[in-house]
Chains A and B, each alone.
Chain A
Amino acid sequence: MFDFLDMDALLGAFWVTVKLTVYSAIGSLIWGTLLAGMRVSPVPLMRAVGTAYVNVVRNIPLTVVILFASLGLYSTLGVTLGGDAIDGINFRLAVLGLIAYTAAFVCEALRSGINTVPVGQAEAARALGLSFTQVLTLIVLPQAFRSVVNPLANVLIALTKNTTVASVIGVAEASLLMKEWIETYAALIPIVAVFAFGFICLTLPTGLVLGWVSRKVAVKR
């Protein structure tokens, strides 16, 4: 029944999924933080650009973003992101697409974290004579970060599942291997079960651990 099971191929494909997730998570955290900075900045133009980016990117299907990275950026404009083999180029383009897309959600999560800090906290800090940097680093950000662990965990889990979209441009991750196996072997249910189990192993522990962390560090108000 499980004679399709080629452990090396399976682990290899899930390893690509994990790599996609990790690189995209790091990238979108950086880009999302910059966007969140823009959205809460005192400069109206920055706020407008940040808002426009988030509203546009959030409403485009990730599939469109990733397919555009391949057909638009690579095939039409010749952007290779420094890769040479087609596999590497597709992987990098997929990471780029995932970062561009996920950053919008990271930005929203971080911004909502800053919004949960009551204005009174900052006013009290200023009344004590703390400088802007002190207010930010001692009062606002610590409270903001502690309140966004759970939303960020959700974004991370969603990102893990969204990496499957990279199969659209032929990145050899788990869902593409599943598609190949379904076409090759007549064992639909066991094949899907194996891959479903793989994704559950990736997402459920992340949710449980980070959910526990978020309850631990949450600011009780």
Chain B
Amino acid sequence: MSSVLYDAPGTRAKRRNIGYTVLFLAVLALVVWWVYDGLSSKGQLDWVKWEPFFTSSQPYATYLWPGLQNTLIAATLALVIALPLGAVFGIARLSDHRSVRAVAGTVVEFFRAIPVLILMLFANAAYADFTDISSDVRPLYAVVTGLVLYNASVLAEIVRAGIQSLPRGQTDAAKAIGMRKGQTMRHVLLPQSVTAMLPAIVSQMVVIVKDTALGGAMLSFNELLSSVRPMSANYGANTIACFTVVAVIFVSLNFALTSAAGWLERKLRRGKKSTGAVVHAGPGGGLETVGPAGGVSTQGDFKSGAGGGG
């Protein structure tokens, strides 16, 4: 295996690599020992603090499972609402009419430039001031609204890039057989571009899942992260253990989603039925927020494996 940076190792390089491995192992061991020492000197590694997560189902039934449920409800709602909204704005940005393009473009760029936390805080206050949504469901509404506003605009860019990744001939052929613009979009362009967009949509789900945690910290929405405080209060100040468990749940959930996106992408690149184009939300794809300029790129005719999504 030869890469841009080094050749396949010969005897000397192999010996040198072993030296580096030993050195790196020593540094790693030092770091691990330092963390271990820090934790154990504060008593955070005592079995008592970790035991509830291994020996009883109570922390799961009382705190973690309801929290995870709320996280998933908020994330799913946000995706389900944001997806059609994003499709509408993505298509509007490709409109033939300049006014439609300009309005859709402004809306999309506006909501992508603003932190999602600001949108959530705004939604929360707006629901409190202008509607009579009861205060126990208001956090959920606010979290979903904030996520929808932000993610619809990101999804709009994904849809736009997906449609643009199709060869121009598709539109020309549709025109040649007399399809109207709406028909071309519905019957020719959208169905084909959906395959290119799927991996990006699945990756965007990771961003949505991660952002629900903001609602737990700022809007007292009872999601997974917010179960840390009551848990550590109940099980004897085991903050580190609680955070570890919550982080492990988040990581496994999101890692599953990331892997699914990567699997889909590889499948699509190989597939003969699609154009082989795969849209993804830029190398910053897993970020909570993707920048306004060129966040989405098509990698279709770009086979050097630049982004390749994870």
- Interface pair B251/A151, CB less than 8 Å apart: no
- Interface pair B254/A67, CB less than 8 Å apart: no
How many chain A residues sit at the interface, stated as a range, is: 35 or more
**Other contacts beyond A105-B286, A108-B283, A157-B289: 16, CB < 8 A:** A42-B6, A42-B13, A55-B251, A59-B206, A61-B209, A61-B213, A115-B304, A119-B4, A140-B5, A150-B293, A154-B293, A168-B218, A188-B126, A199-B114, A200-B113, A206-B291
Interface residue ranges of A163-203 to B (CB < 8 Å)? 164-165, 167-168, 175, 178-179, 182, 186, 188, 192, 195-196, 199-200, 203
In the bound assembly, the distance between CA atoms of A161 and B113 in angstroms comes to 8
Q: Give chain A's interface residues, CB within 8 Å of chain B.
A: 40-46, 49, 55-56, 58-64, 67-68, 71-72, 75-79, 105, 108-109, 112, 114-119, 121-123, 126, 132, 135-136, 140, 147, 150-151, 153-158, 161-162, 164-165, 167-168, 175, 178-179, 182, 186, 188, 192, 195-196, 199-200, 203-204, 206-208, 210-211, 214
Stretch of B59-67, B92-100, B117-125, B168-176 with 4 or more beta carbons under 8 angstroms from chain A: B117-125
- Interface pair B307/A136, CB less than 8 Å apart: no
A43-B24, A76-B239, A165-B214 known; A179+B121 contact, CB < 8 A: yes
In the bound assembly, the distance between CA atoms of A182 and B216 in angstroms comes to 19
- Interface pair A158/B290, CB less than 8 Å apart: yes
In the bound assembly, the distance between CA atoms of A59 and B210 in angstroms comes to 8
In the bound assembly, the distance between CA atoms of A78 and B304 in angstroms comes to 47
Q: Which of B118, B237, B253, B258 gathers the greatest number of chain A CB atoms within 10 Å?
A: B118
Stretch of B82-90, B177-185, B240-248, B266-274 with 4 or more beta carbons under 8 angstroms from chain A: B240-248
- Report the minimum CB–CB distance from A25 to chain B (whole Å): 13
Q: What are the 5 A-B residue pairs with the smallest beta carbon separation, nearest first?
A: A157-B291, A207-B293, A59-B254, A61-B213, A154-B291
A71-B228, A77-B38, A199-B114 known; A116+B293 contact, CB < 8 A: no
- Interface pair B237/A76, CB less than 8 Å apart: yes
**The residue from B117, B250, B255 contacting A164, defined by CB atoms under 8 A apart:** B117
- Interface pair A60/B2, CB less than 8 Å apart: no
State the interface size on chain B (CB cutoff 8 A).
74
B44 at the interface (CB under 8 A from A): yes
Residue numbers in B under 8 Å from A214 (CB-CB) = 294
- Interface pair A116/B291, CB less than 8 Å apart: no
Residue numbers in B under 8 Å from A168 (CB-CB) = 214, 217-218
B287 at the interface (CB under 8 A from A): yes
- Interface pair A126/B7, CB less than 8 Å apart: yes
**The residue from A49, A72, A119, A195 contacting B118, defined by CB atoms under 8 A apart:** A195
- Interface pair B289/A158, CB less than 8 Å apart: yes
